[in-house]
Amino acid sequence: MGLHNKTVVTEFILVGLTESARLKYILFAVFFFIYMLTLFQNVGLIVLISVDRKLKTPMYSFLRHLSFLDICYSSTVMIRLLKDLSSYNTSISIAGCELQMLSYIGFGVTECFLLAAMSYDRYVAICHPLTYLQIMSRQTIVILLVFSYLGGLINAIFLKYISNIFFFHQRPYVHHFYCDVIALIEISCGDTTLNQMVLFSFVSFIEFSSLLVILVSYLYIIVSVLRIRSSKGRKKAFSTCASHLTVVTLFYGTVMFMYLRPSTAYSLEQDKVVSVFYTIIIPFLNPLIYSLRNRDVKTSAKKLGISLLKKVRSLAVL
């Protein structure tokens, strides 16, 4: 049901990133290339973690799910964007718009909770190394993963309830390249102050609750690392958290900038640029960050590449 029985319109028009036909083709080529690399990198990381026994640790279990979420999160926006860039028809049905909005919110919130779970994993690894495998048991990992996905689902359902109070009395133009909840609030009829307050409170709770877990975890990590006497030991401990900290900074920084600003600071064009970064660029960068800064992943990737090359050569000889 959702928006259907609250409006007389049957579809929205996504304004997109540009109206220039020439620029559309250029953007299509660029984003298609980025999307293919995003899929290749994240699928490759999932396969690598699944087949290499040395990567059967809690940290890499979380990383595999992060790659899965990045694929889903990126695809929710990218498939539609690529279609609109290659076509003059950028209309989207009410149901399609609602599905896209709920999907990217659901996957995005799940990623927030997953990053918090990964920070807890790093805390246990550094502060309780001797009992790491006992604390981060298979049961603990499953509980944290279920909580993350369930949190994303519950928040998507909550957002669906909020979207039921939107009213549209004409064929509205969404000034965005996907169905972002802020863009929908901007074109809805009537006073949207309550909508914006609910959205602000909603995002604030998710952001700060998961961010609080991350901050507390790293506070304990810093205290624990500073107690290490050797500089080599401290450097090694911090290096295990560098990739996660980079991903957290990029993800939380852009999301907080997008949704936790006062309404007077909103700029449609600025929001589009930021949205491109956190819906397209970040899922592309995440596997690179974890691969380039992780010796185990690079070693496993090299071994897998050599193994595949040998199989190809043996097949070629046959």
| Predicted local confidence at residue 31, as pLDDT | 96
If DSSP states are collapsed to H, E and C, what string results for the chain? Answer: CCCHHHCCCCEEEECCCCCCHHHHHHHHHHHHHHHHHHHHHHHHHHHHHHHCHHHCCHHHHHHHHHHHHHHHHHHHHHHHHHHHHCCCCCEEEHHHHHHHHHHHHHHHHHHHHHHHHHHHHHHHHHHCHHHHHHHCCHHHHHHHHHHHHHHHHHHHHHHHHHHCCCCCCCCCEECCCCCCHHHHHHHCCCCCHHHHHHHHHHHHHHHHHHHHHHHHHHHHHHHHHHCCCCHHHHHHHHHHHHHHHHHHHHHHHHHHHHHCCCHHHCCHHHHHHHHHHHHHHHHHHHHHHHHHCCHHHHHHHHHHHHHHHHHHHHHHHC
Contacts by 182-186, CB closer than 8 A, 24 or more apart = 182/258, 182/259, 182/266, 182/271, 183/268, 183/271, 184/97, 184/101, 186/266, 186/268
Provide the mean pLDDT of the chain: 83
Cβ atoms of residues 175 and 186 within 8 Å: yes
| Predicted local confidence at residue 84, as pLDDT | 93
177-225 pLDDT per residue, tens: 998 887 877 777 766 677 677 777 777 788 788 989 999 999 999 888 8
Mean pLDDT computed over 153-158: 85
Q: In 3D, which of 28, 12, 13 has the Cα closest to residue 81?
A: 28
Q: Sheet holding 11-14: strands in order across? A: 91-93, 11-14, 173-174
| Predicted local confidence at residue 233, as pLDDT | 74
Phi, psi of 89 (to 5 degrees): -90, 105
Indicate whether 136 pLDDT > 50.
Answer: yes
- Which residue type is seen at 271? D
123 vs 2, which has greater pLDDT?
A: 123
Angle 156-32-51 (CA atoms, 0-180°, nearest 5)? 70
Mean pLDDT computed over 143-151: 95
Mean pLDDT computed over 89-114: 89
Q: Residue 266's pLDDT band (boundaries 50, 70, 90)? A: low
Q: In 3D, which of 225, 289, 318, 284 has the Cα closest to residue 71?
A: 284
Task: Output the CA–CA distances (angstroms, integers) from residue 255 to 17, 40, 155, 165, in the order listed.
Answer: 19, 25, 15, 24
CATH number of 4-317: 1.20.1070.10
Question: How far is residue 293 CA from its own chain's centroid?
Answer: 19
Whole-model pTM: value is 0.87
| Predicted local confidence at residue 214, as pLDDT | 94
236-260 pLDDT per residue, tens: 777 778 888 889 988 888 877 776 6
- Which residue type is seen at 46? I
How many other C-beta atoms can be found within 10 angstroms of the C-beta atom of residue 189?
12
- Which residue type is seen at 39? L
